[in-house]
Structure 1
Amino acid sequence: MSEFPLHLTIEWLKEHYQKGLTTPIEVINEIIARSNRDKAMNIWITPPNLDVIKPYLDRLESLDPSDTPLWGIPFAIKDNIDLKDVPTTAGCEEFTYIPKVHASVVELLVHAGAIPIGKTNMDQFATGLVGTRSPYGETHNAIRGDLISGGSSSGSAVAVAKGQAAFALGTDTAGSGRVPAALNNLIGFKPSLGAWSKKGVVPACESIDSVSVFAHGLGDALLVDQQLRFKDPTDPWSKEFPGPYASRPKKICLPKNPLKFYGSYEEDYKEAWRKAVDRIKELDIPIEYVDIHLFTKAAEILYSGPWIAERWAALGEFVDSHPHATHPVTEKVLRSGASDRYDAASLFHAMHKLQVLKREAEDLLSNNVLIMPTCGGTWTREQVRRDPVATNSHMGEYTNHCNLLDMAAIAVPGREATQKIPFGITLFSLSDQEGLMIEVADRLLKQSKNETNRNPVARLEEEMTYFVVCGLHMRGYPLEKQMIESGATFIKEETTSPSYQLVKLSGYPSKPGLIKKTDSGASIEVEIWKMPLKSLGKFTTSIPAPLGIGKVELQDGRELPGFICEGYAEHLAEDISQFGGWKNLQPLI
């Protein structure tokens, strides 16, 4: 049996399983021992238990590791996300129910071979950013025990940071999937709203709730994302979001306004942010300093506007009918949403104001990435007890705007503000441009001494390449099977730059050719796929002249490998550029 590292990662586990150096049952036994050792940290509500975990271990015997990307990987679940036959409490014992089925996200992970190991502690009803609002005890910080863990996904973050899970599911409404990441030196990935299903998740503020993931490396977080990204027909909030692919943004946006920091470590946080900005400037991406007041205005709407009434709509009946069951601070926050001031007119006023802010954010961040500190400060648990509302508010200074403005985010660990005082930054993108923040996060992690998962995206990209197709290899056409046989997966639909000619080549079956022009051209609809590099060579040999492989320029200026056509074919083929794509000329029947 191999000696276990302090931090469990998907990469380490896969490697050691493959080499026969450890087994899933050995990993689970180590996790149970660690959870018992750290019991006083209040990480778990339903801790790892072999009787509960054993059916998932036994199931691995019928699964092929090569077909199940998360085979044998242990993960933790925030206790507002359903795990079949295990109590869901949302941090409130009297709220407890036993779900008959998994939440959709849990079902997908189990299908991929992952092992659910337990339910983690949380700020009650996912209302809080500090990790102290739980009747199951205050979750301790993984780095320095007297500090707050961050919340509301407190136990999920600390479980990963203490090596009791390779990754963990949290939820994020106002920063709960990012603040605990920053305070425990983790990656916190919050996808675009609707990209991951919320079916089987206890709502906090349902219209802007999101499931999130904590991990030690960006590559691990993105592997989880690959399993969870789909449009769930059982979830009315679910949307179709193609998997993101890393790409360089035009600019990085940084705040030009002086930033506020709070608490005993205010000056340390200021200096940590200054140093983070210096490192961001080294990324060779243009910097623009922007006014962040629009994000502040959006954040104010979350708790000082009618969205707080959405929390009361979800939980008010329970709170009223179960006196003294709710944590006092949580109840105070929830009851603020029952106020008469939030009538229908105030809701529409807020919606209209928010829509203006959304448009401003879209104009500012199109093809760009915004970077801000993750937290406004940090505190000891004792300090939060003395002032629970103000400390929580300051904690969310740079997080609360995100979901209201329909943005995606990645929290990345930075260098310590001072000894054993964690600090982190968050990268934001528009909901349909997640790949931009992934690219910047990858560059920062490669640069950082705190990196714990060696060059995570680079590791993925060494094995895979993006590939542009424009004809018979697209989805639904006869040669799609060649893409699938090569191990390729569809990513998204795209459009080329307006510099191409599309021709219909002679022969049977009819197929198109994409020719780049130097003078004039058109934008052509294409598809982006991801293909294993080891398959590309064999795939290339099957391509008949005049087709070949080269770089295809996309509408946003990026260049990716893909099908191109030699220029001489222009004189032997029919120009079909006016159709704008092969699907418009040869639609599927």
Structure 2
Amino acid sequence: MTISTLKTMYKNGKLTPLALMEDIIRQAEQEKEHNIWITPPVLAHIQPYLDKLEQMNPDEYPLWGIPFAIKDNIDLAGVTTTAGCPAYSYQPEKSADIITRLVEAGAIPIGKTNLDQFATGLVGTRSPFGETHNALKPELISGGSSSGSAVAVARGQAVFSLGTDTAGSGRVPAALNDLVGYKSNIGDWPTRGVVPACATLDCVTVFASTLDDVYLVDAVARGKQPGGNGKDKYETIASVKPQKLLLPKEPLYFYGEFKDAYRTAWEAAVRRLELCGIPIEYVDCSLFNKTSSLLYDGPWVAERWSDLGEFVENHPGDIFPVTEQILRSSLVKGYDAASVFTALHELREYKEQADLLLKDAVLVMPTCGGTWTREQVAVSPVSTNSDMGHYTNHCNLLDLNAVALPSDYAGEQLPFGITMFAMRGQENMLKGAAGEFMKTEAIELAVCGLHMRGFPLEKQLLDCDASFIRSDRTAPCYRLIRLNSVPAKPGLIRSEQGSSIAVEVWRIPIGRLGEFIRLVPAPLGIGRIKLEDESEITGFICEPYAEINGEDITGYGGWAAAELDRFQNDTPATG
């Protein structure tokens, strides 16, 4: 679900908010083994917000009737906040400021989601409420700490959701569940009513299916701005291309059993970045690695202890073991005031370097260098978690804004994503770069006739920025018909008494696919074609009625061979 699609369905009377909430409640119950929710959606909690919609004009409220999930370290009035620890539970009288803003814009809070306890972790397994399963491959981690929030959206149980981000918790789960995850600069979104992890670094974040959705939520989260005629209004960030994209020049670190697939997916993402029309520069990224080391090997871990240490000391046995180990690490390392200032001075130097490097530029890295099974994390809970933050931990220390974007899959049911970073004040460049990258999202399209290379309609594909990938063949279950049309063209029809037919596979941007499809005349259409290796792909198909007046040319094995034979037979012999 997307916000725009849902709004259209409401407007056309095809769906009501109540009917949608009832569907979500049913689905949450059916999929409870995913451990998405701590407080699952129930109509008793949701109904008061539905009742308020009746007094709100949908055209005046940008999030009218849009269901969203809330990470359970963010307060929702009247609903228990646990931060992933039952002993810590309390019931807030007021909602967090960010929730109030979203509700005032018409959004519907539907429940509280699972998380790595006290938002300490990037894996999604550190919760007494159960390990949140990956939305696509349940044996893999979901990412954390905003695990339930991401999976709720990825499984269709919310249109968007709120997470938090200190070291990557609003980005890693996005990459592992094929979502967009957005994190503003520190302080741009309010954090009052959020259980702190590192209060000076914490940000509330959003997960959604599209870039448009996260930026609409961002506009509401930032609050209304003064508008014309004395009326306040929500303003979305403008979109501007940066002068350049910065990519790491050093070899990247990939890990886990899928590391080779992740490396290949990164290379595919780089090829897409090259299509964005923005100059690319390869730079030394050691600065960001040095910054990352300050987060857990520096005194910021003591900030977590300052907020939660007293509770931990007073509740022996109530804390998830690995979480307590991390929280207590600041005591073991013995940070003092001098070490804090030493680290602050070091960080200031890194910020100055980052500001110079990122001026008018956007940095691009993999969101994650790999992933793990939940069993692997159980065996090595600290090292696997550290790996997940390799490309994320620098972000908040340097006060960058970031957007995690889905890219081409690393394998079957194995999402891969990149993250773009920009310095404070360049949010418009981040949005511009992200938008250009998403325009390069493409699908493979099989063509079998006049759109193949060298034939008259190849230009239609090229005009839609499509590119040739490879020659291939269908599975042996198709017949090829020369249609009775001008010009003559082939039609591919599924048949049990068929053969394998030659095709070409092209890559076409999704944003241009609709434009291309409008050029396809009946009886041709676009559907699913089975290839020789048994995989399925989008491609040209033909309605069976067309064979009545057509010529069966299946025996030629493809359009090119059939046309070559026709040309030779129609050409008079010479000499």
**TM-score > 0.5 by shorter chain:** yes
Shift of 1:376: 2.1
Residues of 1 paired with 2:70 and 2:331: CA distance? 30
Residues of 2 paired with 1:131 and 1:189: CA distance? 18
Count of residues paired in the alignment:
440
Alignment-derived partner of residue 56 in structure 1? 49
Q: Tell me if 1:136 matches 2:152.
A: no
Q: Tell me if 1:79 matches 2:39.
A: no
Counterpart of 1:361 (choices 354, 359, 362) is: 354
Q: Tell me if 1:446 matches 2:443.
A: no
Tell me if the contact between 1:229 and 1:243 (Cα under 8 Å) persists in the aligned partners. Answer: no
Shift of 1:341: 2.4
Q: Tell me if 1:191 matches 2:192.
A: no
Q: Tell me if 1:14 matches 2:24.
A: no
Alignment-derived partner of residue 406 in structure 2? 413
Residues of 1 paired with 2:333 and 2:111: CA distance? 40
Shift of 1:242: 8.2
Tell me if the contact between 1:195 and 1:230 (Cα under 8 Å) persists in the aligned partners. Answer: no
Q: How does 1:268-417 map to 2 (within 5 A)?
A: 268-339=261-332, 341-417=334-410
Shift of 1:431: 1.5
Alignment-derived partner of residue 162 in structure 2? 169
Where 2:190 maps in the other structure, the secondary structure is coil
Alignment-derived partner of residue 117 in structure 2? 124
Residues of 2 paired with 1:416 and 1:115: CA distance? 32
Decide which structure has the larger Cα Rg and report it.
Answer: 2
Alignment-derived partner of residue 153 in structure 1? 146
Counterpart of 1:429 (choices 416, 422, 427) is: 422
Alignment-derived partner of residue 203 in structure 2? 210
Change (3 A) 1:89 1:265: same
Tell me if the contact between 2:215 and 2:237 (Cα under 8 Å) persists in the aligned partners. Answer: no
Residues of 2 paired with 1:57 and 1:174: CA distance? 35
Tell me if the contact between 1:197 and 1:231 (Cα under 8 Å) persists in the aligned partners. Answer: no
Where 2:282 maps in the other structure, the secondary structure is strand
Tell me if the contact between 2:63 and 2:105 (Cα under 8 Å) persists in the aligned partners. Answer: yes
Letter in 2 for 1:49: V
Alignment-derived partner of residue 514 in structure 1? none
Alignment-derived partner of residue 528 in structure 1? none
Letter in 2 for 1:151: G
Counterpart of 2:104 (choices 108, 111, 115) is: 111
Tell me if the contact between 2:224 and 2:235 (Cα under 8 Å) persists in the aligned partners. Answer: no
Letter in 2 for 1:417: A
Residues of 1 paired with 2:332 and 2:344: CA distance? 18
Q: How does 1:382-531 map to 2 (within 5 A)?
A: 382-449=375-442
Out of 149-158 and 410-419, give the one that drifted further: 410-419
Change (3 A) 1:435 1:387: same
Shift of 1:37: 0.9
Shift of 1:444: 1.3
Change (3 A) 1:454 1:210: farther
Unaligned runs of 5+ in 2: 226-233, 445-508, 513-575
What whole-Å deviation, never above 9, does each CA across 1:194-232 have from its counterpart, x for those lacking one? 110001000000000000000000001111011111499
Shift of 1:455: 6.0
Shift of 1:80: 0.2
Tell me if the contact between 1:193 and 1:431 (Cα under 8 Å) persists in the aligned partners. Answer: no
Out of 303-312 and 417-426, give the one that drifted further: 417-426
What whole-Å deviation, never above 9, does each CA across 1:262-282 have from its counterpart, x for those lacking one? 111111111111111111111
Shift of 1:377: 1.1
Letter in 2 for 1:208: L
Residues of 1 paired with 2:180 and 2:288: CA distance? 22
Q: Tell me if 1:40 matches 2:18.
A: no
Tell me if the contact between 1:417 and 1:423 (Cα under 8 Å) persists in the aligned partners. Answer: yes
Alignment-derived partner of residue 93 in structure 1? 86
Residues of 2 paired with 1:450 and 1:18: CA distance? 31
Tell me if the contact between 2:215 and 2:236 (Cα under 8 Å) persists in the aligned partners. Answer: no
Shift of 1:443: 1.3
Where 1:208 maps in the other structure, the secondary structure is coil
Where 2:79 maps in the other structure, the secondary structure is coil
Residues of 2 paired with 1:27 and 1:414: CA distance? 29
Residues of 2 paired with 1:231 and 1:134: CA distance? 36
Unaligned runs of 5+ in 1: 1-7, 233-240, 457-589
Tell me if the contact between 1:413 and 1:450 (Cα under 8 Å) persists in the aligned partners. Answer: no
What whole-Å deviation, never above 9, does each CA across 1:181-203 have from its counterpart, x for those lacking one? 00000000001111100010000
What whole-Å deviation, never above 9, does each CA across 1:510-566 have from its counterpart, x for those lacking one? xxxxxxxxxxxxxxxxxxxxxxxxxxxxxxxxxxxxxxxxxxxxxxxxxxxxxxxxx
Shift of 1:442: 1.0
Residues of 2 paired with 1:50 and 1:97: CA distance? 21
Change (3 A) 1:231 1:13: closer
Residues of 2 paired with 1:357 and 1:373: CA distance? 21
What whole-Å deviation, never above 9, does each CA across 1:448-498 have from its counterpart, x for those lacking one? 1389x9869xxxxxxxxxxxxxxxxxxxxxxxxxxxxxxxxxxxxxxxxxx
Tell me if the contact between 2:171 and 2:182 (Cα under 8 Å) persists in the aligned partners. Answer: yes
Residues of 1 paired with 2:77 and 2:510: CA distance? 35
Where 1:418 maps in the other structure, the secondary structure is coil
Tell me if the contact between 2:216 and 2:236 (Cα under 8 Å) persists in the aligned partners. Answer: no
Tell me if the contact between 2:258 and 2:371 (Cα under 8 Å) persists in the aligned partners. Answer: yes
Where 2:178 maps in the other structure, the secondary structure is coil
Counterpart of 2:219 (choices 218, 221, 226) is: 226
Residues of 2 paired with 1:394 and 1:448: CA distance? 27
Tell me if the contact between 2:72 and 2:84 (Cα under 8 Å) persists in the aligned partners. Answer: yes
Letter in 2 for 1:177: G
Change (3 A) 1:337 1:178: same
Tell me if the contact between 1:192 and 1:432 (Cα under 8 Å) persists in the aligned partners. Answer: no
- Note the aligned Cα RMSD (angstroms): 1.8
Where 1:411 maps in the other structure, the secondary structure is strand
Residues of 1 paired with 2:96 and 2:6: CA distance? 25
What whole-Å deviation, never above 9, does each CA across 1:282-314 have from its counterpart, x for those lacking one? 111111100000000000000000000000101
Tell me if the contact between 1:79 and 1:122 (Cα under 8 Å) persists in the aligned partners. Answer: yes
Shift of 1:244: 2.5
Residues of 2 paired with 1:245 and 1:31: CA distance? 33
TM-score, normalised relative to structure 1: 0.73
Shift of 1:243: 5.2
Residues of 1 paired with 2:195 and 2:312: CA distance? 15
Change (3 A) 1:339 1:226: same
Q: Give structure 1 regions of 4+ aligned residues with deviation exceeding 2 angstroms.
A: 241-244, 338-341, 453-456
Letter in 2 for 1:258: P
Letter in 2 for 1:244: I
Alignment-derived partner of residue 248 in structure 2? 255
TM-score, normalised relative to structure 2: 0.75
Residues of 2 paired with 1:283 and 1:15: CA distance? 30
What whole-Å deviation, never above 9, does each CA across 1:65-123 have from its counterpart, x for those lacking one? 11111010000000000000000000000000000001000000000000000000000
Where 2:6 maps in the other structure, the secondary structure is helix
Residues of 2 paired with 1:450 and 1:413: CA distance? 14
Residues of 2 paired with 1:429 and 1:271: CA distance? 25
Shift of 1:339: 3.2
Residues of 1 paired with 2:74 and 2:130: CA distance? 19
